[in-house]
């Protein structure tokens, strides 16, 4: 089943804050329009990225998906065009077995870099990235001796 969930309050406390009100108040990713491909991720707290700075931002979200799905995390188009802000890894690739891993429950983080000339400001509750679920293909003669994911590597 493809879905988004909040990480547990215990994980939230480790990664973000011990503020229960903050935990209960942040929004789940949604598609903003009928034909939108991406699910918008909202900032749990406001943040600012200075020119040349890189900032790692918690989403407070984990994603469950089908075995042959991948979740791609990408910046909003306007971030690159208007502000020259982008993901440091260009595209985040979240595999199905990242969900509920023993290290961090599958908590997804976004790393943004400001390559512009002005501070980039995102207020609490504003969209700062988007996620797209995609089906992927496997080769026919693939070996079946895989190991189970045990960490968030």
The pLDDT value given to residue 141: 87
What average pLDDT does this structure show over 81-105? 95
What pLDDT does residue 149 have? 58
25: closest CA among 40, 11, 43?
Answer: 43
Distance CA 71, CA 10 (A): 24
Task: Give the Cβ contact number of residue 35 at 10 Å.
Answer: 5
Predicted confidence band of residue 144 (pLDDT cuts 50, 70, 90): confident
Average pLDDT, the chain: 94
**Residue 146 confidence (pLDDT):** 67
| Domains contained in the chain, CATH given | 3-135 (2.70.40.10)
Q: Please give the torsion angle defined by the CA atoms of residues 34, 35, 39 and 41, in that order, rounded to the nearest 10 degrees.
A: -70
Query: pLDDT for 103-113, tens place per residue?
Result: 999 999 999 99
pLDDT at residue 148 in the model: 67
The pLDDT value recorded for residue 42 is 98
Q: pLDDT digits over 115-137, tens only? A: 999 999 999 999 999 999 999 99
More confident residue, 144 or 84: 84
């Amino acid at each position: 089943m493809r879905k988004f969930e909040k990480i547990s309050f215990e994980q939230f406390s480790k990664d973000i804050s011990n503020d229960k009100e903050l935990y209960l108040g942040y929004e789940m990713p949604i598609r903003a329009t009928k034909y939108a491909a991406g699910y918008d991720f909202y900032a749990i707290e406001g943040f600012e990225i200075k020119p040349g700075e890189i900032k790692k931002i918690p989403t407070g979200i984990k994603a469950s998906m089908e075995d042959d799905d991948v979740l791609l995390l990408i910046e909003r188009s306007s971030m690159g065009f208007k502000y020259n802000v982008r993901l440091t890894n260009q595209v985040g690739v979240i595999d199905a077995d990242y969900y509920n891993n023993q290290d961090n429950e599958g908590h997804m983080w976004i790393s943004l870099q400001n390559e512009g000339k002005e501070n980039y400001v995102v207020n609490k509750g504003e969209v700062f990235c988007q996620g797209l679920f995609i089906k992927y293909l496997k080769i026919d003669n693939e070996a079946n001796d895989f190991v189970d994911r045990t960490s968030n590597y």
